[in-house]
Amino acid sequence: MKKKGFISLFIILLFLASGLGFSDEGMYLPFKIPQQVFQRMKNLGFTLSEEDIFSMRKPSLSQAAIIIDGGTGSFVSPKGLILTNHHVAFMAAQRQSSLKANLIENGFLAKTLKDEIPAPGYKAYILKEVKDVTSRVLKGVSKKIPPKKRYKIIEKNIKKIIKKEEGKSGDYKCRVNSFYGGLKYYLSKYLVIRDIRIVYIPSRNIGEYGGEIDNWMWPRHTGDFSFLRAYVAPNGRPADYSKKNIPYKPEIYLKFSARDIDPGDFAMVLGYPGRTERYLTSEEVKYYVNFYYPEGIRILKKWIDILESDAKKDKKAAIKNAGMIKGLSNAYKNYQGMLQGLKKMNLVEKKKKEEKKLMEYVNSNPELKKEYGDVLEEMYSLIKESQNLSKKSRFLSLFSRSSRLLSFALTINKWSIEKRKKDIEREPGYMKRDIPNLKLGLKLGQMSLYIPSDKKVMKFFLKELLNAPEGMRSKVIDSLIKDKSDKGIDEFIDNLYKNTKLQDLGYRMRAFNLSRKSLLKLNDSFINLASKLQVELDAIKDKSETLAGKMLLVRRKYMELLLKYKKGLIYPDANRTLRLNIGVVKGYSPKDAVFYLPQTTLKGVMEKDQGKWPFNVPKKLKEICKTKDFGNYIDPELKMVPVDFLTTNDSTGGNSGSPLINKYGELMGLLFDGNFESIAADFNFMPSITRTISVDSRYILFIADKVDHATNVLKELEIVR
């Protein structure tokens, strides 16, 4: 064996075999649980085996946790009933809402299977297989190959792997994810259920109680839950919506715990966290602190204000803009917490000190110095180059999202270019496997399209681009708008919207099917703009791929060094693959002389009531509190109906809707948030204050029973007391 392989076998074995101590930090791969972590689980009372958590030979808990829309969900009945967050199901409610039937505000309950309605655009991804595909991904890759070609080889290898593993049935989707900076690649294979229906969504003043004021905050008093259902064709295979479809029968589902929950109780999360960035360099963190988050906060605030202004004036706008407002508002508060947290922990300086110690370790050993002596300087150089490009690409990316019509046009235009290529040569996202999703996106956009807001948001972003620093401007926009006054910009926008038909769904779908030549013959103003912008976007993409090709080797080398330095005691960053995390029910102290208890109750819900949004307790819930008709849902220690609780689990975006599982393997709660003080834990875990917030399973049962009388849903659940 060569001393210096492209992947060091020693390193790979080291990080797969090592444990990570006894911290609740870490989002572990369920099929590679470190033994020290599993032993801690046992010490905390966990009663199941590792195979009960993840197995390819028999049904396991990992198959009960699923990807649903942008979050996570779990099967909770043998009839395909899915539990997830109210905010995860929010877009389904928005897309089915109208002035006559406002599901956003009033909620929804289907009393029978026939009453269940489609959740437009929602799909359930059920994990069926995980494979190590590292050697297949890196086939043909070497240091001698030019950077962009290196990037393209990996991209093409991944496309080939996915195409082969998915097969021709159309029932499965595969994803190949990078771990440890590209040292390992795993393929996840999912069965995809395309017919998802709305079963039960509580009213907004329960499911989103506290609104943006309470978002990311503790103490919390929201019932952030919803129930959906997965349907398949009569033969059991995934199918598009049809009245003939039947409920999907999952191989495993979670029992619903109504047991008492106390401080110190074990809690396990199984879910699909989006992204953490815990192995960035100081230079990368500096970019987030000095540019990414400050600019993001500024832009998001103005964007939200535009949409909310229209929503206040027009009820139709309020419904159409609701999903976008909710998403942007969540990001806005998240960015504020990130920036505040990164500054408070002084992470840039902390990273610099860590890097200094790392290089002292390298320089103390001649062999290490020879192999890794320049790695940090190489990283810094590439990072600086990448960040300059990112500033411009970020502005153009936001502009592309600013108008739904522009977004439609860019998709249609790009597809007219990619369809002329062989399938394997097309860009990811535009292959044959992606066509149904592209078409679906064009259709779903109609449900959130409100032209007055579309025009106002576009104007805001055009002004941002036109007034941006030189290196962040768009040459296309500069050339098209000579008069940069409000009048000139208004005239440009008016002409755009007058000379397009993209607001018409039928026209969009016909345009999608046209050849490149026929599409351009339409002389549609938005298509023409998209065609010009695509040239600029492609130029940025070309540069970014070259940089990514360079970074592939350097990042891998850096992670190799970290693994040696830490003796393998690091875990992979979150990347939307299934992860396991453990913790306990526990409060925290956010500042001097303040301590937060880990559980809230219905008493706190009533104390916050102001009679108006976002603190407006439903009339029915007030009556229950007045008559004290709490049934058997009172916590014996709290002497009241429990609502939400804190645990020390490590979670992030994408974990929303993840089941919180007790020591018996039962669902004890529903994860929906983190606390504001620890948002920056995505970059650096903080054991003393990092907490996960979940809805108590007993509050879900209480609301379903006493408030909404969802007896049909309750009968489906296997409730353990």
Positive/negative CA dihedral, 179, 185, 186, 188? positive
8 A C-beta contact, residue 324 and residue 659: no
Cα(606)–Cα(209) distance, integer angstroms: 11
Positive/negative CA dihedral, 459, 460, 461, 463? positive
672: left (phi over 0), alpha (psi -120 to 50) or beta: alpha
Backbone angles phi, psi at 626, to 5 degrees: -65, -40
The structure tokens 């500069």 sit at: 478
Q: Which of 446, 611, 616 is nearest to 106 (CA)?
A: 616
Classify burial at 332, counting beta carbons within 10 Å of its beta carbon; exposed 0-12, middle 13-18, buried 19 or more.
Answer: buried
Active site residues per annotation:
87, 224, 656
Classify burial at 467, counting beta carbons within 10 Å of its beta carbon; exposed 0-12, middle 13-18, buried 19 or more.
Answer: exposed
Q: Which two tokens stand for residue 687?
A: 């054991």
8 A C-beta contact, residue 330 and residue 215: yes
8 A C-beta contact, residue 582 and residue 20: no
**Cβ within 8 Å of residue 144, ≥6 positions away:** none
Cα(529)–Cα(476) distance, integer angstroms: 9
Provide the CA 528 distance to its chain's centre, in angstroms.
32
In sequence order, which ranges of 138-265 are alpha helices (DSSP H)?
147-166, 204-207, 211-214
Q: Residue count of the chain, please give it.
A: 721
Residue-wise DSSP of 584-637: EB--EEEETTEEE-SEEEHHHHHHH--SBTTB---HHHHHHHHHT--TT--BTT
172-179 and 71-75 beta bridge pairing: unpaired
